[in-house]
Amino acid sequence: MNYKDWIRKAIIRLSFTKNAKQEAEILLEYITGHNQAYIFAFSENELTGFELEKLEFLLQRREKGEPIAYIIGECEFWSMPIYVTPATIIPRPDTECLVEQALLRLPKQKHRLLDLGTGTGVIALAIASESKKSFVVGVDINYEAVSLARQNQYRLNIFNVYFMQSDWFNSLLIQQFDIIVSNPPYIEEDNIHLYKGDLRFEPLSALVAKNNGLSNIEYIIKISKQYLKNQGWLILEHGWKQGLEVCNLFKMYGYINIKTCIDYSNRDRVSLAQLYI
């Protein structure tokens, strides 16, 4: 079977997805080691028996709903190739909105930024890649996530970042940051979407929070006051229906200049506020 015929058959089997053709091409690129342009130009190339066997195994995994990112072990974020594993959630494009808001508020002089619950490290690495004046600390309670973030750091050769294991702030010495960012767990425990699509395969500990998804967000808003410099910013990703509640939490804990920003689907996704001491 050649490349073209395999893609045609794979598209039929992946018709339950929104991007069947793209996913088929990704799997073919992964197994053959050739990019999309090569596969298009040499679509009549025959697949070996070994390649067909491996492709069949990957197709079966995808048919069971396993995310493509976990199957091939990577995804793209901020135009960077990122390793992913089932120990972390898969970075979403909308999280780039959080990066954008942080970049808009970076001081002109050298500064320090904290990324809470760093996971794969993508937020920390994206910010550090754009600003050589930034020194970013990324923390996560999961040692596997910290190890993965370090692998991504070495892969991308970004060294103005330090990743460490910590349950939120607990392993940090009291120190001051110009900006704190976080994409914390914010899905409510009884949300039916946890049992659908990609979420079925992602770690619940990185997705779910008590108090209708707001417990971690409130904790971060409260404790960040001890770690932010005067006029420092706290920037949080949250669910698209949580913007008002997050803003109210900012107000309750004495922050000012509170704002909610929309994502690429025009939904509330990131809220931010400034601390004046």
| DSSP codes of every residue in 59-82 | HHHHHTT--HHHHHTEEEETTEEE
Q: Is 183 annotated as a binding residue?
A: yes
Mean pLDDT, rounded, for 199-224 = 95
Residues whose CB falls within 8 Å of the CB of residue 1, separated by 6 or more in sequence, listed in order: 9, 46, 47, 52
Q: Is 186 annotated as a binding residue?
A: yes
Q: Are residues 248 and 128 both part of a single domain? A: yes
The answer to whether position 54 is within a domain reads: yes
Q: Are residues 243 and 113 both part of a single domain? A: yes
Q: Is 119 annotated as a binding residue?
A: yes
Mean pLDDT score across all residues of the chain: 96
The answer to whether position 79 is within a domain reads: no
The terminus-to-terminus CA distance of the chain in angstroms comes to 68
Q: Are residues 51 and 97 both part of a single domain? A: no
Mean pLDDT, rounded, for 207-233 = 97
The residue type at 157: N
Place of tokens 């899905």: 187
Q: Are residues 44 and 92 both part of a single domain? A: no
Instruction: Provide the CATH number for the domain around residue 45.
Output: 1.10.8.10
Q: Is 121 annotated as a binding residue?
A: yes
Q: Are residues 237 and 132 both part of a single domain? A: yes
- Count of structural domains within the chain: 2
Q: Is 86 annotated as a binding residue?
A: no
The answer to whether position 220 is within a domain reads: yes
Q: Is 65 annotated as a binding residue?
A: no
Residue 56's domain spans which residues?
3-64
Mean pLDDT, rounded, for 64-82 = 96
Q: Is 78 annotated as a binding residue?
A: no
Q: Are residues 9 and 99 both part of a single domain? A: no
Q: Distance (Å, rounded) from C-alpha 65 to C-alpha 68? A: 9
Q: Is 168 annotated as a binding residue?
A: yes
Q: Distance (Å, rounded) from C-alpha 158 to C-alpha 12? A: 41
The answer to whether position 78 is within a domain reads: no
The alpha helices in the chain, defined as continuous H runs, are 3-13, 20-32, 36-41, 49-63, 68-72, 96-104, 122-130, 143-156, 210-213, 215-224, 243-252
Q: Distance (Å, rounded) from C-alpha 49 to C-alpha 47? A: 7
Q: Are residues 147 and 267 both part of a single domain? A: yes
Interval 241-276: pLDDT, tens: 999 999 999 999 999 999 999 999 999 999 999 999
Interval 109-144: pLDDT, tens: 999 999 999 999 999 999 999 999 999 999 999 999
Q: Is 185 annotated as a binding residue?
A: yes
Q: Are residues 58 and 180 both part of a single domain? A: no
Q: Are residues 43 and 91 both part of a single domain? A: no
The answer to whether position 190 is within a domain reads: yes
Residues whose CB falls within 8 Å of the CB of residue 210, separated by 6 or more in sequence, listed in order: 189
Q: Are residues 29 and 146 both part of a single domain? A: no
The answer to whether position 223 is within a domain reads: yes
Q: Distance (Å, rounded) from C-alpha 186 to C-alpha 270? A: 12
Q: Are residues 121 and 256 both part of a single domain? A: yes
Lowest mean pLDDT among 2-16, 185-199, 254-268: 185-199
Q: Are residues 239 and 149 both part of a single domain? A: yes
The answer to whether position 126 is within a domain reads: yes
pLDDT of residue 174: 81
